[in-house]
Copies of this chain bind each other. A is one copy, B any other.
Amino acid sequence: EIVASIEAAMNNGPLKGRHILVTSGPTHEPIDPVRYIANRSSGAQGSAIARALLGLGARVTFVTGPADVAAPIGVDLVEVQTAAQMLDAVQAVQNVDVGIFAAAVADWRIANASAQKIKKDGKGLPVLEFSENSDILAIVSASKTRPTLVVGFAAETQNVIENATAKRKRKGCDWIVANDVSPSTGIMGGSENDVVLITADGSEDWPPMGKDQVAQRLALKIAEALG
């Protein structure tokens, strides 16, 4: 990894001079000081993508929630906890050529989060009120300073291509990397992935491969698209 980042700094890869934003990992939405709602995301695919981009010479800003895997060496690292913090961090990044939104961002936060630990005091079960979080992918896709290429991710458990194709249009992004994260696939938390790339031209079904290989193929495809 150190070697890869040194190589990236010295080489003239096809992404040299490009600034790429990658989001990664889960977000944690607090319920009270000791409890939170989380998404099942190790951050492995996001980190692999950042490494592959560095390897092709890009400058990478890496905005990550509390992931299991370490952030790659050589990125500009921004660590956040919640979806709201991730949006703020993303909006603070300037002059982005490509935005890759691999983080598993919580769709909802707890509107009535408690400053004190909720006690099991016989008063019955807690009532959690939810608020919808801002949609980072849709906001970036519609922004005046939109990156040239915006890539979203879709973690689906059924009708993967159909759901992901609809998501691409709804969000206004250019590509969607869709995968089936049903527990039976072992993809969530595993080292392998099985993705379909959705673009304006249709869908490309990639064979099952390691997350590092998915990252490498995506990075090369991005280099090609930027020309």
Interface residues of chain A, those whose CB is within 8 Å of chain B, are 28, 31, 33-41, 104, 106-108, 116-117, 119-120, 125-126, 128, 130-132, 155-158, 163, 181-183, 188
A155–B34 CB distance below 8 A = yes
Subset of 26 A-B contacts with CB under 8 Å: A28-B38, A31-B37, A33-B40, A33-B157, A33-B181, A33-B183, A34-B39, A34-B40, A34-B41, A34-B188, A35-B38, A35-B39, A35-B40, A35-B106, A36-B37, A37-B37, A37-B38, A38-B38, A107-B120, A108-B125, A116-B158, A117-B155, A117-B181, A119-B163, A120-B132, A125-B130
Contacts of A28 in B (CB 8 A): 38
B158–A104 CB distance below 8 A = no
| Complex CA–CA separation, A28 to B132 (angstroms) | 22
| Complex CA–CA separation, A216 to B131 (angstroms) | 45
**Number of this chain's copies in the complex:** 2
| Complex CA–CA separation, A106 to B34 (angstroms) | 10
Nearest-neighbour CB distance to chain B for A162, whole angstroms, equals: 12
A36–B34 CB distance below 8 A = no
Contacts of A181 in B (CB 8 A): 33-34, 117
| Complex CA–CA separation, A117 to B40 (angstroms) | 11
**Complex partner residue of A116 from B37, B120, B132, B157, CB under 8 angstroms:** B157
Nearest-neighbor residue (CB-CB) of A41 within chain B? B34
Contacts of A107 in B (CB 8 A): 120
**Complex partner residue of A132 from B33, B37, B119, B125, CB under 8 angstroms:** B125
| Complex CA–CA separation, A28 to B39 (angstroms) | 11
**Complex partner residue of A117 from B34, B125, B130, B156, CB under 8 angstroms:** B156
Contacts of A35 in B (CB 8 A): 37-40, 106
Nearest-neighbour CB distance to chain B for A163, whole angstroms, equals: 8
| Complex CA–CA separation, A41 to B163 (angstroms) | 35
Nearest-neighbour CB distance to chain B for A113, whole angstroms, equals: 12
B157–A117 CB distance below 8 A = yes
Nearest-neighbour CB distance to chain B for A167, whole angstroms, equals: 10
| Complex CA–CA separation, A33 to B180 (angstroms) | 11
| Complex CA–CA separation, A46 to B49 (angstroms) | 35
